[in-house]
Every structure is written in C-alpha cells, then in structure tokens.
Amino acid sequence: MTLDHFPQGPQDASYAPLVKGDRVATPMYEDPAIFDVEMEKIFGKTWVWVGHESEVPDKGNFKLSVVGTQPVIISHDRKGALHVLVNRCRHRAATVCEIKKGKTSSFQCPYHGWGYALDGSLRGVPYTEGYNTDFDKKDYGLKKLKVETYQGMIFASFNMDVEPLEDFLGNAKPWIDLFMKQGGGFPVKTLGEHQFKVPMNWKIQLENTTDAYHFPVVHKSFMQSLDGEATQQFSFLEDDDGWVEDLGNGHSVMVMMPELNDLDDNLDAPIPERFQALAETLRADYDEDQVRRIVRAVGGCGFNLNLFPNAACSLSFFRILRPVSVNETEIRHIALGMDGGPEAANQMRMRLHEHFQGPMGFGSPDDAEVWERVQRGSAGGGDLDVMVNRGKGLEETSENGLPKGDISAETGMRAAYAKWQEMMA
Amino acid sequence: MKDMTPETEITLDDAIKFLWSEADILDRNDFDAWLPLWHGGHYIIPIGDEVTDFANNLNIVYDDAQMRKARAARLSGGFSISAAPPARTVRTLSRFVFTEEAPGAVTIRSALHVIEDKFGRQRMFAANVEHKLIATENGIRITQKVVRLLNSDGMLTSISYLF
C-alpha cells in the first residue's frame, strides 16, 4: 500500500463535486458527515449573522445567539463595544449564561464561580491559591469571535483572517441600504420574533428565500385571505417585471414588487385601501409627507435578499436560519418596526407579520410542511439529483456582471450553491 | 344548556362543560361550530409569560373576529398543504380555576395538553389557558381566549390546528 492510496477520513474528503452547477447531489441534505464539514468550513469560516443592534441597545445589554451549532453571547460592553463570545466557561465548559436576553455587569459561571467581564476577559477566580503561580487570568477569557456590523446587523466570524464584512456583503450592500428604509424615517428596531424548527436540512430553507416559483402553489390559502389590492401585489409570478439576481459571494436578491424597492420613491402614489385607516390615524400627529412615508414603509420592501449562509432581509423582516443537525433546522422570523415611530404603525407591522409568519401564520406552516416533505422525499432515490436548473440558459447578465433570471428562476439557489462549492473545496 | 340571560351566574360546572365542548370541537376541526362560540374579542397566543399588552407586542396569534374567520377558512378550505390534512390532535383540559367572577361573566384558567400526530411522529404542547366567558341569551360565549404555551418564546414547530 502506497501513501497515494492511504484511506482518507471524512475531514479530508472534498464534497465540492456534489454541486453540479444546475443541480445538487441528494447526500447534501442527508449525510451527517457533510453537515459536520459544513459547520467547520462554512459556519466556522465566514461571516454569520448573529443579531441586530436594537436587541442589545444599551451598555450592559446581552443576548444569546448561535454561530453554526455553537452557543454565543452578544454583549454590549461599558465602553459601547460589541462582543460575540462563546458561551462556555474556560474552566470546565459550563455555559456562563442561560438568560435569553437582558442586562448585566458580568457573566458568572454557576459551577465554580469564574467571573467574566462584558468583553469576555476573566476577572474573578474563587480560591486562586489552588492554582500554580504561572496561571494567568489573561489567558482564560471567553473565546471571542471577530465582530463587525453593517446597517445595524451584527455579524460574527470564528475566522480572525476573514475578509472585511463590507467586502463579503459586496453587491448585497445597496439592497441592505434599501431594506433599512422601512424605518420610514425612524431607525429600524426588532419587535420580537417567531421561532420554529423544521425537520429539514438548512439548505432547504436557504433555497426557499429566493424561490418565487413556490409562492402561488404553497401560499394559495394565504393569498385567499387577502383583499383584492394585496392579492394583486402578491401575484408577482403573473407579472413580468420581477427578477432574481446573483449578487456574488453566495448572496442573491429576488425582486417581487419592483415598485417597492425604494420606499422613498412614489410617495405620491395613492395609499392602498388597507392602509387608509392607518393613514387617517397618523394624520393627527404627522404632516402628509411623513404620513405617506410611514404608511409606505409599514408595508415593507418589495424584495427578498438572501445573505449566505444564514440570513435574509425578507420583505419586512429578518429570516434567520440555524442548522442544528443534518435534518433539523431552526428558523427565526424577526419582526421589525420603527424605533420611536408611531404606535399605530408598529402595531400594523406586527399584525402583518403575525398574518403570514411564524408557527401559526397563514404562510409559514405551509412552507414548513413542504420543506419537511423535501427531507422525507430525499430519503429515496439517493442517486437522483435535486434540480435547481429553472431559468438556466434564459438568464441575462446583470450590471454586476452576474446572472440575472426571471422572477421564478432558480438563479439565487445556484448562487448559494456556487459559494457552498467554493467553501467546501 | 339552561335558559340564560346576561345576568345569569356561570357556575364552575357550566364553564367546564363549555370548555370541554370547545375542546371537542377543536379536536374535530369543526370550525363552523367554533366560530359561533365567540362574542367579539380576541383569540391570542402571546409570546412570553408576562405579556398583557397584546396589541403592542408580537404574538403568535392575535385574531379578532375577522381574522378568526379567515383562519378557519384557511384551515378548512383544502388549499393549505399543512392543513390538508392537518395533524390529528387529542387534547385534555383540566385544573380549572376561576380567577374572576361577576354576574354573567367569569375568567377561568385551565391547563391544556395537546398531542398531535402526523407523518408517524408525535409532538406535545402544554399551555395555561385563560378564557373570559359571558352569559348570553344563546348560552355561554367567549369574549377573550389567551393560550400561553409553555415554550412560547422558545423554538416551536409549525402548527396547523387551533389550541
């Protein structure tokens, strides 16, 4: 036996060939060994969305989050800096925080009492005389991730050599800028979230954010619950003005209602019927220009922006995925509103969010059902590929020099899988 | 049901029989029978145990009469893949306590356990439920129902039936 034929462990395997351009191999949904490598090579290497600044607005605020499968704490320290820390005591590994969100001056391990500052540095060790003189607290701070923010969104990476966040976001940045206009002149803040887990591989969710093709099929019962004008708005598959665009680095955007891309435009357009009562309420406190701006922002943007590997700015909310295992994924639908904005407007945003999103929305349960069906179906025919070829060969080239397909094209999925392939090589 | 007026006292026995009847209706997904049990008000599944200002917080469900009707239509219309068919459910409601009593109006808290079955897997939910009930000439009616799921601010699953 020569070294050339030495058996390779799973960590040495390259899974890159499982992506075949316009199709992907079934084991990508099914093989636990691939999942483990994804956690290392993707979630362990790139920028991962962990939270929004409005979730930790003040000094001393913290919030629990995850990067891949690893528990982390987002912490806002006394000097105003944000930290993302692995939620694991450096002594014997117990979590140092199990409160989902709050305010504190330090984190203390419940097991032996090691205490950490908000920046993760180790401050207190009970009975230090039991350690040798070479023990230095400086060596035992909570493990820190690299942290950068863009437009209030907090990203973290285990990779200290990762490219600057703004380079990674690249062509997605102008779309994020547009998305944040739904503050209607106020800062965007989170208004709570819906959370549900689905027995599926995380990439089934990743694919879905730029999948317009499923909308009229899966969301028929949601459409039936809308008034005429809103039905018209969500009939984007019938229109011919939408598109899906590869933005590079695995990111993509699906434009469903181009007239709502820039919420500062078309402020003279008639106020839709379902927003007229809100507009009337707002007129008591705001001038007509502000009323129109706020009302237009309440309805959200006209596009879904997919940020590889775990986040989306979707119409009016953040959609965050968390891979748990090869066939289990947790989804968070974070509602957004106007910080300091009118109560009536934020109430309407929450009611619109409740209507479609979350465990008992009129949309999400039907998404969850078909995603679970994909996972159940992919247990069969492991030799067959999953097709993401819709629109292939019909695409144009965007201003960014990247593929741009029609609204129902699977261009966004191909963009994500190309990045997956690059990172898994 | 005995003859009622808006002043008729609702006994614990009356309230329990009403809630068990509602539970049976919901396990049978008989929304045509469920909607008339209401007299205005909201059907609410809040997030977190402490929330009382439901309108100014994000809820899992915050349905007025119109949204309840739309929800019933969605769940029974045959066009929702998650509800055609829905998971089958068996629920028990127990540990009944009156928390408020007035002539013709009570608030009753109870414990709810629901087990659902679909795709050969079973899921379990537990909740504290609070009904506000009133006496009307047509019998007892619901004016508010708040279902506080034990894990409402944690990871749930998608749900295509009613609690």
Nearest Cα residue to B46 out of B31, B62, B30, B35: B62
How many CB pairs below 8 Å do chains A and B form together? 94
pLDDT of A168 = 98
Q: Are residues A294 and A350 in the same domain?
A: yes
Question: Which among B59, B70, B82 has the least Cβ separation from residue A368?
Answer: B82
Cβ–Cβ gap A191/B58 under 8 Å: yes
Q: Are residues A331 and A270 in the same domain?
A: yes
Q: For residues A350, A352, A355 and A358, what is the CA-based torsion angle, rounded to 10 degrees?
A: -50
pLDDT, tens only, A337-394: 999 999 999 999 999 999 999 999 999 999 999 999 999 999 999 999 999 999 999 9
- In terms of CA atoms, which chain B residue is nearest residue A222? B74
Residues of chain A positioned with their CB less than 8 A from the CB of B158 = 196, 198, 359-360, 364-365, 367-369
Q: For chain A, 425 residues long, give each residue's pLDDT as a single digit of tens.
A: 455 555 555 555 689 999 999 999 999 999 999 999 999 999 999 999 999 999 999 999 999 999 999 999 999 999 999 999 999 999 999 999 999 999 999 999 999 999 999 999 999 999 999 999 999 999 999 999 999 999 999 999 999 999 999 999 999 999 999 999 999 999 999 999 999 999 999 999 999 999 999 998 899 889 888 888 888 888 888 888 999 999 999 999 999 999 999 999 989 989 999 999 999 999 999 999 999 999 999 999 999 999 999 999 999 999 999 999 999 999 999 999 999 999 999 999 999 999 999 999 999 999 999 999 999 999 999 999 999 999 999 999 999 999 999 999 999 999 999 999 999 99
Average pLDDT value for residue range B125-138: 97
A79 shares its domain with A187: no
Q: What is the CATH number of domain B12-149?
A: 3.10.450.50
Q: Do B62 and A347 touch (CB under 8 A)?
A: no
Q: With CB atoms and an 8 Å threshold, state whether B160 touches A197.
A: no
Q: Which of these three, A150, A180, A206, is where a domain ends?
A: A150
Range of the domain at A59: 48-150
Nearest to A376 among B55, B83, B119 (CB): B119
A139 plus A195 within the same structural domain? no
| A303 and A354 both lie in a single domain | yes
Shared-domain flag, residues A362 and A401: yes
Which residues in A lie closer than 8 A to residue B76 (C-beta atoms)? none
Q: Are residues A92 and A199 in the same domain?
A: no
Domain-terminating residue out of A97, A116, A150: A150
Domain with residue A270: its CATH number is 3.90.380.10
- B47-56: pLDDT as tens digits: 999 999 999 9
> Residue A216: is the preceding peptide bond cis (ω within 30°)?
no
CA end-to-end distance (rounded Å), chain B: 24
A77 CB near a chain B CB, below 8 Å?
A: no
Q: Test A360 with B62 for CB contact under 8 angstroms.
A: no
Chain B residues lying within 8 Å of A218, measured CB to CB: 81
Distance from CA of A335 to the nearest CA of B (A): 8
CA distance A109 to chain B (A): 23
If asked whether residues A102 and A183 sit together in one domain, one would say no
Task: Report the gap between the CA of B153 and the closest CA in chain A (Å).
Answer: 8
User: A214: exposed, middle or buried (C-beta count within 10 Å: 0-12, 13-18, 19+)?
Assistant: middle
Out of A225, A360, A368, the one facing B61 most closely (by C-beta) is A360
Residue A99 lies in a domain: yes
User: What is the identity of the amino acid at A205?
Assistant: Q
Task: Specify if A34 maps to a domain.
Answer: no
What is the chain A residue with the closest CA to B154?
Answer: A195
Query: Touching check for A347 and chain B: CB below 8 Å?
Result: yes
| Residues 6 or more apart in contact with residue B53 via CB below 8 angstroms | none
Q: Which residues of B touch A365 (CB under 8 A)?
A: 80, 82-83, 158-160
Q: Return the CATH number at A78.
A: 2.102.10.10
Is A352 contained in some domain?
yes
**Confidence (pLDDT) at A232:** 82
Number of domains in chain A: 2
Say yes or no: A143 and A255 in one domain: no
Q: Which of A116, A150, A184 is the last residue of a domain?
A: A150
Residues of B with CB below 8 A from A368's CB? 82, 157-158
Q: What is the 3-state secondary structure (H, E, C) of chain A?
A: CCHHHCCCCHHHCCCHHHECCCEEECHHHHCHHHHHHHHHHCCCCCCEEEEEHHHCCCCCEEEEEEECCEEEEEEECCCCCEEEEECCCCCCCCCCCCCCEEECCCEECCCCCCEECCCCCEEECCCHHHCCCCCCHHHHCCCECEEEEECCEEEEECCCCCCCHHHHHHHHHHHHHHHHHHHCCCCEEEEEEEEEEECCCHHHHHHHCCCCCCHHHHCHHHHHCCCHHHHHHCCCCCCCCCEEEEEECCEEEEECCHHHCCCCCCCCCCCCHHHHHHHHHHCCCCCHHHHHHHHHHHCCCCEEEEECCCEEEECCEEEEEEEEECCEEEEEEEEEEECCCCHHHHHHHHHHHHHHCCCCCCCHHHHHHHHHHHHHHCCCCCCCEEECCCCCCCCEECCCCCEEEECCCCHHHHHHHHHHHHHHC
Structural domain includes residue A415: yes
Gap from A353 CA to chain B (nearest CA, Å): 8
Question: Chain A residues with CB inside 8 Å of B156's CB?
Answer: 194-197, 359
User: Which conformational region is residue A226 in: left (phi greater than 0), alpha (psi within -120 to 50 degrees), or beta?
Assistant: beta
- Residue A41 belongs to a domain: no
CB contact under 8 A, A198 and B59: no
Inside any domain, residue A328: yes
- Distance (Å, rounded) from C-alpha A210 to C-alpha A411? 8
Phi, psi (deg, nearest 5) at residue B145: -135, 120
Question: Within this chain, do residues A280 and A334 fall inside the same structural domain, yes or no?
Answer: yes
A234 and A271 within one domain: yes
Using the predicted structure, report yes or no on whether residue B74 has a pLDDT greater than 70: yes
List residues of chain B with CB under 8 Å from any CB of chain A.
Answer: 45, 47, 55-62, 67, 70-71, 73-74, 77, 79-83, 119, 153-160
Which of A191, A192, A221 lies closest to B80 in CB terms?
Answer: A221
A328/B contact by beta carbon, under 8 A: no
A296–chain B Cβ distance below 8 A for any pair: no
- Do A81 and A46 contact (CB within 8 A), yes or no? no
Number of other residues whose CB lies within 10 A of the CB of residue A396: 10
B147 contacts B127 by C-beta, under 8 angstroms: yes
Kindly state whether residues A199 and A307 are assigned to the same domain. yes
In a domain, A413, yes or no: yes
- Residue in A195, A351, A369 nearest the CB of B156: A195
Are B77 and A368 within 8 A, CB to CB?
Answer: no
In a domain, A314, yes or no: yes
